[in-house]
Amino acid sequence: MIIIIPRAKTMYLHDLKVNRFNEPTGIDLSLPVFSFCVDGEGAGRLSAVRITVSEREDMKNPVYDSGERSDISPIGFVPEIKFEGGKKYFWRAEVFNDNGESARAVSFFEGGRKSAEWDVPFITTAEDNRRAAAFYRAFALSERDFSGARLYITGLGLYEAYINGKKVGDEYFTPFYDDYRYSLQYQTYDVSAFLREGENEITVLLGNGWHGGRYPAGKNGDGMFGDGFRLSAELVLSGEKADGVAVLTDEKWRELESPIIFSEIYDGEIYDAGKELFDDDGKVAEKAKNTAKPVKISSAPSAEIIPRISPAVCERENFFPALIKTPGGETVLDFGQEITGWVEFVCDLKAGERIKLSYGEALQNGCFYRDNLRTAKAEFIYISDGKRRVVRPHFTFYGFRYVKAEGLSDIELKLQNFTAKAIYSEMPRRGFIHTSDGTLDKFIENTLWGQKGNFLDIPSDCPQRDERFGWTGDAQIFSETALYHADCAAFFAKYLYDMREEQRRYAGACPFIVPDGFSAYEEKRAGEKKKDEIAENVNRVSAAWGDAAVVIPWNLYRFTGDVYSLGKNYENMRLWTDFLFSADENVGGGKRLWNFGFQFGDWLALDADKRKDRDGRRGATDESYIASAYYYNAAKTTAKAARVLGKTEDAIKYEKLAEEILSAIKSEYATSDGGLTVETQTSYALAAIFGFIDGKKAGRELVRLVKENGGKLSTGFVGTAFLLDALTKTGNAETAYTLMLGEDYPGWLYEVKCGATTVWERWNSLRENGEICDTEMNSLNHYAYGAAAAWIYKTVCGINVKEGYEGFEKAEIRPVPDKRLGSVFGEYRSGFGVYSCGYEQTDSDVRFEITVPYLGEAEFFVPEGCSALDNRGKKRTERTLFFKGGKHIVNCIKNPRAG
Ligand code: BGC
């Protein structure tokens, strides 16, 4: 007798997170969402999950024990308990499958301060100081009699804290970028290892950052939110003998002269090492102490001071330069990749000598160039004190590939001394694509770099010129791609928090940029809050921009399946849709169209009608049509969210509104022959996606318009985001491939062919000969057109989340192969595990390999024009195949084309 022993199906857990943070310290615990990923071999099914929380690492005496429950989802669970601030908790997830196996893993988390209210005093400089500040305090610890130490700290603008000369934490740009009128985050650091018995010193550097200086619009140095520096910090010890606040910001602190003598987000930094604060042993130098001045206790900012919500912003990747001697005799370092961050270098110049680095994105005629950065100087100047030091800026960042170095002779310039550091918010990679087309792969990589370069605490339009704002339109357009590429749930949660704060103050209106520096700046100048009358608000929003308030929450939900976060972000959605409705009623006369107020239209579309729009930026598509389409989408998406959240009354209300808008759009824009009164690629793309006219007709018109335009696209920010999906949805994927793979202008691969390493703002940011097309509004790192990467995940690789099973509990694998791509591999690491779809094809067949994660399920849609074969090589009749966890091979034969 042969006994078959089944191979143990090992089940294991990873990615234990709270609020999407891995092992966090100092987070907001008002709604702690626990999540974890269950993996294993083959397919599994959970019968129960148990979550335990304890103050002890050995998990004894738990403060919370859910017991074994079948209703706990790995992608989001909030324990029914209030956790205390200022305490480290360990938590364990334990899962049981229906084979009687179990697996467990432990992680930890810690909230912010014990007291929910921030009652720590703020200090500021005694005299007006707009450049940079340094504060210092010495204190003694008699015995090392504490088991833990936490530093709770915040400041305005940005701070870096040092204890005994060592930087606390590996993050930069703290306390991060919120609308400082409303919110200011504080951070919590475990500083136990920094302290010693005897004398200790804490030193904090402050710079303008996004708060002061001339960001965003103040040409004369009057900042968006305010000026001056404020610091608030407390050091709390815990242990048997010492317990409580050891140090807090008070009059005992001193202001020191900062070695940072100039600092601005746009213009860069000047650092005078002659004023260096620390000795070689990390102590504050006597020379620096001699500059000490008293500090002033300052009022607390009006903002609510909240535990951190931003994911960490750290140096994440290094790049090393090649040397270019330009025809103009300049010394330029080429880092080979456009990144956002700075250059760190080892400096051993003589005292008083200086090095100047200037940052740029492109060369022109072989020479260094930065006119497209407009007024942003983007420089770093370092004045040496004669000591060999590792140098970097502090409160500024640059979007760059090229750096011009001045002040070093050829002998002094050692390439190995220069490293470019890419700095961005934490967002673990989730999606991967490889195809047989290297140029396409490079484009996908460029879209990822667009994301890395523009996800520095806020989703920005660009990282280099005098802008760098959280433009809502760009962010929503790119959000789907961003979520395919990486886990940016925590990143977007923070952005949506800020957005909600803005919306609450302006009757639901979601502004052009978040944080809304524009209104902050205007209000600061006017000395009063702007009126939030509807008539005024309709001019401070735009379709596709304000719609970030519904698009991002919904995309976030699709990718994470986290209903708790959807519950929070539902407020953004509801506020926005209600705002549009009341504007429609009060300004638009209740026509269920959005045909009033300001619009950006199909921004930067190539079909711009220059007669209507002086600068030719708005595209030819009727702006009210675009806006009404978005109004429809807002009502419909808000209704869907309401259904998920069980808010039936809301759902009915928004469904009804959506229907009314749909019929208003149809009667206003549909023609008697089934077409549209607005004849552009963008208009038909929107119609196909939202169902304004018959899909087949929309597809035909779209293909016709592409043909009439020489086989090229003519869309802008709005249309481009829908074009490929619209063609695919209407059965015209071949045309979508043609557009995607085209290497001539205008098209996605044109810029790749021109050597781009990120995605450009304009289809022709650079001409074929490398010449820049325009300096006024022309960035080489603008991710909006990179949104096409989502189409590659969805259509080329076929990886889609199934509606109703958000978070990838189930996936729809719907690849649409095209003969121009012989092989394709795509992978997405969801909260439910890894889905992948790869295929190789010949003229006659396609072989698919599909991976479904342990707890996942997938429906595989046999591509049009193909038939799946069974084990004996016979054609199967089913068009949809159902897969559980594991690897699945599907051999398909291509059917000869009919006709
Ligand atoms: C930005 C865009 C933004 C636009 C508003 C530009 O200056 O860079 O990306 O969305 O303004 O239309």
Q: What angle do CA 644, 648, 649 make, to 5 degrees?
A: 140
Residue with the bigger pLDDT between 530 and 879: it is 879
| pLDDT band at residue 705 using 50, 70 and 90 as cut-offs | very high
In this prediction, residue 412 carries a pLDDT of: 72
The atom number, within ligand 1, closest to the CA of 604 reads: 12
- 375, burial (CB in 10 Å: exposed 0-12, middle 13-18, buried 19+): exposed
Q: Ligand 1: distance of its center to the CA of 801 in Å?
A: 30
Residue 22, beta-bridge partner list: 17
Which of 372, 373, 467, 602 for mutating ligand 1's site (highest number of atoms within 8 Å of CB)? 467
Which of 372, 542, 600, 603 for mutating ligand 1's site (highest number of atoms within 8 Å of CB)? 603
pLDDT 10s digits, 90-146: 999 999 999 999 999 999 999 999 988 999 999 999 988 788 999 999 999 876 667
pLDDT 10s digits, 164-186: 999 999 999 999 999 999 999 99
Q: What is the CA radius of gyration of the chain?
A: 28
In this prediction, residue 214 carries a pLDDT of: 82
List alpha helices for 372-511, DSSP H: 438-454, 472-485, 489-505
Give the pLDDT mean for 437-444: 98
| pLDDT band at residue 899 using 50, 70 and 90 as cut-offs | very low
Structure tokens belonging to residue 80: 């029914």
Q: How far is CA 68 from CA 43, 158, 279, in A?
A: 21, 45, 57
Whole-angstrom distance, CA of residue 554 vs CA of residue 569: 9
Give the pLDDT mean for 864-879: 94
CA atoms 332, 338, 341, 344: torsion sign? negative
Does residue 291 surpass a pLDDT of 80? yes
pLDDT 10s digits, 458-480: 999 999 999 999 999 999 999 99
Neighbouring residues of 719: CB distance < 8 A, sequence distance ≥ 6: 602, 605, 619, 621, 680, 681, 682, 685, 686, 713
Residue 199, beta-bridge partner list: 140
* C-beta atoms surrounding 648 within 10 Å: 10
Structure tokens belonging to residue 319: 């790049």
Q: Ligand 1: distance of its center to the CA of 127 in Å?
A: 38
Structure tokens belonging to residue 777: 């509004």
Going through 299-417 in order, the beta strands assigned E by DSSP cover: 304-307, 313-319, 322-325, 331-347, 354-360, 362-364, 367-369, 379-383, 389-391, 398-406
- 872, burial (CB in 10 Å: exposed 0-12, middle 13-18, buried 19+): exposed
The atom number, within ligand 1, closest to the CA of 617 reads: 12
Tell me which DSSP letter residue 796 carries.
I
In this prediction, residue 212 carries a pLDDT of: 87
Whole-angstrom distance, CA of residue 562 vs CA of residue 572: 16
Tell me which DSSP letter residue 51 carries.
E
Residues with CB under 6 A from ligand 1: 461-462, 467, 471, 473-474, 600, 603, 777, 782
- Give percent of the chain above pLDDT 70: 96
Does residue 553 surpass a pLDDT of 70? yes
* C-beta atoms surrounding 373 within 10 Å: 25
> Which of the residue ranges 394-403, 456-465, 480-489, 766-775 would you say has the lowest mean pLDDT?
766-775
Which of 474, 774, 779 for mutating ligand 1's site (highest number of atoms within 8 Å of CB)? 474
Atom 8 (ligand 1) nearest CA: 461
pTM above 0.85, yes or no: yes
Tell me which DSSP letter residue 895 carries.
P
pLDDT 10s digits, 566-581: 999 999 999 999 999 9
Atom 12 (ligand 1) nearest CA: 600
Give the pLDDT mean for 213-228: 70
Does residue 222 surpass a pLDDT of 70? no
Does residue 526 surpass a pLDDT of 90? no
The atom number, within ligand 1, closest to the CA of 474 reads: 10
Q: Ligand 1: distance of its center to the CA of 470 in Å?
A: 10
Does residue 546 surpass a pLDDT of 80? yes
List alpha helices for 514-560, DSSP H: 517-526, 534-537, 548-560
- Give percent of the chain above pLDDT 90: 87
Given a contact cutoff of 8 angstroms between Cβ atoms, the answer to whether 709 and 744 are in contact is no
In this prediction, residue 364 carries a pLDDT of: 96
Give the pLDDT mean for 417-424: 97
In this prediction, residue 4 carries a pLDDT of: 52
Does residue 152 surpass a pLDDT of 90? yes
Q: Ligand 1: distance of its center to the CA of 723 in Å?
A: 20
Tell me which DSSP letter residue 618 carries.
S
Atom 1 (ligand 1) nearest CA: 461
Place of tokens 């791509």: 821
Q: Ligand 1: distance of its center to the CA of 640 in Å?
A: 29
* C-beta atoms surrounding 37 within 10 Å: 23
In this prediction, residue 313 carries a pLDDT of: 98
Q: Ligand 1: distance of its center to the CA of 455 in Å?
A: 16
pLDDT 10s digits, 310-335: 999 999 999 999 999 999 999 999 99
Q: Ligand 1: distance of its center to the CA of 471 in Å?
A: 7
Q: What angle do CA 558, 559, 563 make, to 5 degrees?
A: 60
The atom number, within ligand 1, closest to the CA of 462 reads: 8
Q: Ligand 1: distance of its center to the CA of 304 in Å?
A: 29
In this prediction, residue 411 carries a pLDDT of: 65
Pairing of strands 418-425, 362-364: unpaired
Does residue 760 surpass a pLDDT of 90? yes
Q: Ligand 1: distance of its center to the CA of 603 in Å?
A: 8
| pLDDT band at residue 845 using 50, 70 and 90 as cut-offs | very high
In this prediction, residue 690 carries a pLDDT of: 98
Q: How far is CA 542 from CA 108, 510, 601, 697, in A?
A: 43, 9, 8, 29
* C-beta atoms surrounding 358 within 10 Å: 23
Q: Ligand 1: distance of its center to the CA of 537 in Å?
A: 19
Structure tokens belonging to residue 354: 């200086």
In the three-class reduction of DSSP (H, G, I as helix; E, B as strand; rest coil), residue 537 is classed as helix
Does residue 32 surpass a pLDDT of 80? yes
Going through 508-655 in order, the beta strands assigned E by DSSP cover: none
pLDDT 10s digits, 744-754: 999 999 999 99
